Chains A and B, each alone.
Chain A
Amino acid sequence: MSVHIFAASMRRILQQLRADRRTMVLIVAVPALLLTLLYFVYGGGPAFDQIALSLLGILPMLVMFLITSVAMLRERTGGTLERLFTTPLHRPDLLAGYGVAFGLAALVQSLVLITVSVWGLSLKTTGPIVWVLLIAFCAAAVGVATGLLASAFARTEFQAVQFMPLFIGPQVFLCGLFAPHASMPRVLQGLADALPMTYAVRALRAVGDQADPAGDVLRNVLVLAAFALGALALAATSMPRRTR
């Protein structure tokens, strides 16, 4: 891994993001708009607080998964990845470049989302809200990493978009947003425990319920980080330098 090549790749990916203003606006504004819509659906109150808090982790993961898988697919199908591999670039340089560049975008997105939720939609949490920023960032990192991995299984951008319900759908159903973890059948509980979004929602719930959620948050955030690194390692093996 070369710091120089990683930094150049990150810069290039950020330049691409900046060149596509519409995508940037969608990344930053759409989750906040969705939460606002939900606020009026529920008319605010505790029911909204609980769902909105979970969404602060779910939405960044979802959005980042989607844009990363399409961006990486373009790199694979456009010939640029093959070309990059004939240069001194190594896979971790590129993967880290994507991770950090989109991670920064996710951070901006989360900041806007949290600001809108707390000051605009008067979201209440028992614990300090800053933890939510860390959790949202880690959830987004998982989205980026699994998005990079998912791009290996898609041949076209249509397919990449279709992977979203496959990768993200079960996680949303099982993460505890619709039904509490404890009330699900054992098999589904086991499945939920194997999926990263569950840990994001657990960490967020801890912030919602506990005055000092540091322990629970950090434990779950570590699991999220492990998922992200695991997916990145798998993604690296899914892009061999040489065709067999």
Chain B
Amino acid sequence: MWLAPALRTVRLAPVRTETAIRVQGLDVALRGSDVLHDLAFEILRGAIVGLMGPSGAGKTTLMRAIVGAQRVKGGELRVLGHRPGTAELRHRVGYVTQGLSVYRDLTVQQNAEYFAALQGHSRASAMDAVAAVGLSDFARRRVDRLSGGQASRASLACALVGDPALLVLDEPTVGLDPVTREEIWQHLQGLAGQGTTILVSSHVMDEAARCDSVLLLRDGRLLAHLTPGQLLERTGGTSYDDAFLRLIRSGESM
């Protein structure tokens, strides 16, 4: 396994009562048309929260609003107690966009060092992040010469530099094989265990099982925010896919 030694060291259990993200009556419009309607939810620190829903549900828009890349039309959005995109938050939020948002013509190490420098961190912390995603042996390899899973992990490493308090990951496991997906999820769970809050989107419903809670989004509305257990229990679904479909059909909000 490529979990870094640092992650195996036991730290004090994180306090889970603090709020990492608070959303109240959030409306977001993209080029004039409303994309997110009246969202309200709360995410506790140290939680892994899955953002699930079909394509076009508004997952990416919500994530972009949280990292401060998308203007908010109305309502309240607080990230670690701040408005999104403030200077304070730029040091504490790690964001991985959909697709590979790293420089493919650079090596893993060069990418990580650049993102470390942007955050004012040392080269050593860049290498720590590379080690944390298990790419130490590939640090000097160009990203475009890595496998898909390795490249995704390289992108993740750039977000991990300097231990951000909140990680926002837009479909980090899309298009990856089950083994690599498993590795990424294990790694995220290790980070959450240390108190990092993680918001991760996916349209693979089975990944809901990996999360502490799931936000189900459809057509820009929040269908439900519940634990994976509750999702199966309340819908009587046999699988997460089935549960989500039932939830949509019933049209009810939980």
Kindly list chain A residues whose C-beta atoms are within 8 Å of the C-beta of B85: 86, 241-242
Q: Judge whether B69 and A80 touch: CB under 8 Å.
A: no
Q: Does any Cβ of B come within 8 Å of A215's Cβ?
A: no
How many A-B pairs have beta carbons closer than 8 Å: the answer is: 79
Query: Is the pair A19, B106 in contact by a Cβ cutoff of 8 Å?
Result: yes
Q: CB within 8 Å of B: which of A1-29?
A: 4-5, 8-9, 11-12, 15-16, 19-20
A21, B118: Cα distance in complex, Å: 26
Docked CA distance A20–B103 (Å)? 12
Q: What are the residues of chain A within 8 A of B87 when measuring CB–CB?
A: 88
B96 within 8 A of A: yes
At the interface, yes or no: A89 with Cβ under 8 Å from chain B? yes
B contact residues, total (Cβ < 8 Å): 33
Q: Is B95 an interface residue (CB 8 A)?
A: yes
Residues of chain B with a CB closer than 8 A to A20's CB: 105
B residues in contact with A80, CB < 8 Å: 101-103
**Contacting A83 at CB < 8 Å: which of B31, B70, B95?**
B95
| B118 contact set on A, CB distance < 8 A | 5, 8, 84, 87-89
- Would you give the shortest CB distance from B64 to chain A, in whole angstroms? 7
Once A8-B118, A87-B118, A88-B119 are accepted as A-B contacts, the answer to whether A16 and B103 lie under 8 Å apart by CB is yes
**A79 with B30: in contact, given A19-B105, A88-B119 (CB under 8 Å)?**
no
B165 contacts the other chain (Cβ, under 8 Å)? no
A244 within 8 A of B: yes
With both beta carbons as reference points, the residue of chain A lying nearest to B104 in the complex is identified as A78
Q: Are A12 and B71 in contact (CB under 8 A)?
A: no
B110's nearest neighbour on chain A, judged by CB, is A15
Which residues does chain B contribute within 8 Å of A15, judged by CB atoms?
A: 106, 110
Given A79-B101, A87-B119, A243:B114 Cβ within 8 A: no
Query: What CA separation (Å) do A45 and B130 show in the bound complex?
Result: 59
List A contacts of B64 (CB < 8 A).
Answer: 82, 243
Pick from B67, B99, B117, B158: contact of A5, CB under 8 Å: B117
Min C-beta distance of A50 to chain B, whole Å? 40
Q: Does A173 contact B (CB under 8 A)?
A: no
Contact call A86/B90, Cβ cutoff below 8 A = yes
Task: For chain A, residues 59 to 90, give those with C-beta under 8 angstroms from any C-beta of chain B.
Answer: 78-80, 82-89
Give 21 pairs: A residue, B residue, CB < 8 Å, sorted on A. Answer: A4-B120, A5-B117, A5-B118, A11-B117, A15-B106, A16-B103, A19-B142, A78-B100, A79-B100, A80-B101, A82-B64, A82-B97, A83-B95, A83-B96, A86-B69, A87-B115, A87-B118, A87-B119, A88-B91, A241-B68, A241-B69
Report which A residues bind B (CB closer than 8 A).
4-5, 8-9, 11-12, 15-16, 19-20, 78-80, 82-89, 241-244
Q: Given known contacts A11-B117, A241-B68, A241-B85, what 6 new A-B pairs fall within 8 Å (CB)? A: A4-B120, A19-B142, A78-B100, A79-B98, A87-B119, A243-B64
